[in-house]
Amino acid sequence: MQQLFDAAMFGSTLRIMTPILLAALGGALCSRVGLFNVGLEGLVLIGAFSAIVGNYLFGNVLLAVIFSIVIVMLFSALFAFISINLKANAIVVGISLNFLATGLTTFALRAIFDVKGAYYDKDMVGLPKWDIPLIKDIPWVGDVISGHSPLVYLGIIIVIALQFYLFKSVSGFRLRSVGENPVAAQSIGIKVRGIQYGAVLMCGVLCALAGAQLSLGQVTMFTEGMTAGRGFIALVATMLGQANPLGVMGSSVLFGFMEALSIRLQGFTLPTHFTMMLPYIVTLVAMFFFKDRTYAQDALKAGGSSR
């Protein structure tokens, strides 16, 4: 037990959690305006790939992240256009977007880098690791909290900012009203479409950051389909946290912890299949206990999901 739950594991929990958290916050924004975004997986994948491309083109991590944000915003604008203006079913658009992301990234990997499967360049510099002064010297806490990429800390800051924005600001109230009842929101002069577009584009920014953390955070590389279902886990985190930033944070921590635990358990004699299955089983169990009866139902009705 002692060697199982050491500081390194909680550190990796934070690290693993970040992409899920960022994407899930984007999903939360979307579902707050009544668009259930199943395309998170695809958006994160595009984010991860374009971050690597940006890094390759500019040789600068900051520019790479900005490049990734621009690219993913384009794709989320596509999602917004088709589901808002053309009134297609948001779930169908999201699924198609995932297909498009898988196809385009593997294609572009061949077209740009002329490699199959994965792109890796040892000269490429990834996201820096920040040591937090003072905190890094505290024995156990320092090992857990310090030494992560800036995006890990940014994710936590965004949670607090978003919580404040959604529930304490007038603009956040307007945004929520769009998801609650678009017709009523429209009738008091709220620009429903504008707010929906804004939320989806912000979701794109967050997914780009999630992708950048995946591809530039630990090892500077891209592999085909490297999101490996994290976007869907983020979707679950959104639902589990009831599109509430703090709740989303809580569920993301849970998933991050379960994944870190399953990686750690592989060192023991357990078959890896069961440890890898664990996060999904825990998610199911968590869904069972934390299901929301009011908000999620409304959002789903609006999104036209399972009835």
Partner 1 sequence: MNRVKESLRGLVQPLLAVFIGLLAGAVAILVVGGSVVDTYAEMWKGAFGNFYFFTNTLARSTPIILAGLGVALAFRAGFFNMGAEGQMVLGGLSAALTALYLPGPGWFVCIAAIVAGIIAGGVWSLFAGWLDARFGMNLLITTLLLNYIAIYFGGYMVSYPFKDRTGSAAMAQTPMIDQSVWLPKLFQGMGLHAGFIIAIVAAILIYWFTHKTVTGYEIRMLGSNPSFATYGGVRRIRMMMLSMIISGGLAGLAGAGEVLGTQYRFLDGSLSSASYAWSGIMATLLARSHPLGTAVAAILLAALQTGAMGMERNTDVPLEVGSVIQAVLTLFVSAQIGYSFLKRRKEKKSNATTV
State the minimum distance, in angstroms, from the CB of residue 238 to partner 1: 10
Residue among 57, 62, 63, 277 that touches partner 1 (CB under 8 A)? 277
CB under 8 Å to 58, separation ≥6 — which residues?
64, 67
State the minimum distance, in angstroms, from the CB of residue 288 to partner 1: 6
Coil, helix or strand at residue 187: helix
The whole-angstrom separation of Cα 46 and Cα 39 is 11
265 interacts with partner 1 by CB under 8 A: no
How big is the CA angle at 87 (ends 209 and 93), to the nearest 5 degrees? 45
88 interacts with partner 1 by CB under 8 A: yes
102 interacts with partner 1 by CB under 8 A: yes
- Candidate segments 155-163, 203-211, 244-252, 299-307, binder of partner 1 by CB under 8 A: 299-307
Which 279-298 positions form the footprint of partner 1 (CB under 8 A)?
A: 280-281, 283-284, 287-288, 291, 293, 296-297
Q: Which is nearer to partner 1, 103 or 267 (CB)?
A: 103
Contact criterion met (CB below 8 Å) for 243 and 295 = yes
Query: What's the Cα-to-Cα distance from 104 to each of 6, 69, 293, rounded to whole Å?
Result: 40, 17, 38
Locate tokens 């905190």: which residue? 135
The whole-angstrom separation of Cα 3 and Cα 228 is 28
Q: Where are the beta strands (DSSP E) in the chain?
A: 118-120, 221-223
52 interacts with partner 1 by CB under 8 A: no
Which positions touch partner 1 (CB under 8 A)? 34-35, 38, 82-93, 95-97, 99-104, 106-107, 110-111, 116, 182-183, 186, 192-193, 196, 229, 232, 235-236, 239, 271, 273-274, 276-277, 280-281, 283-284, 287-288, 291, 293, 296-297, 300, 302-307
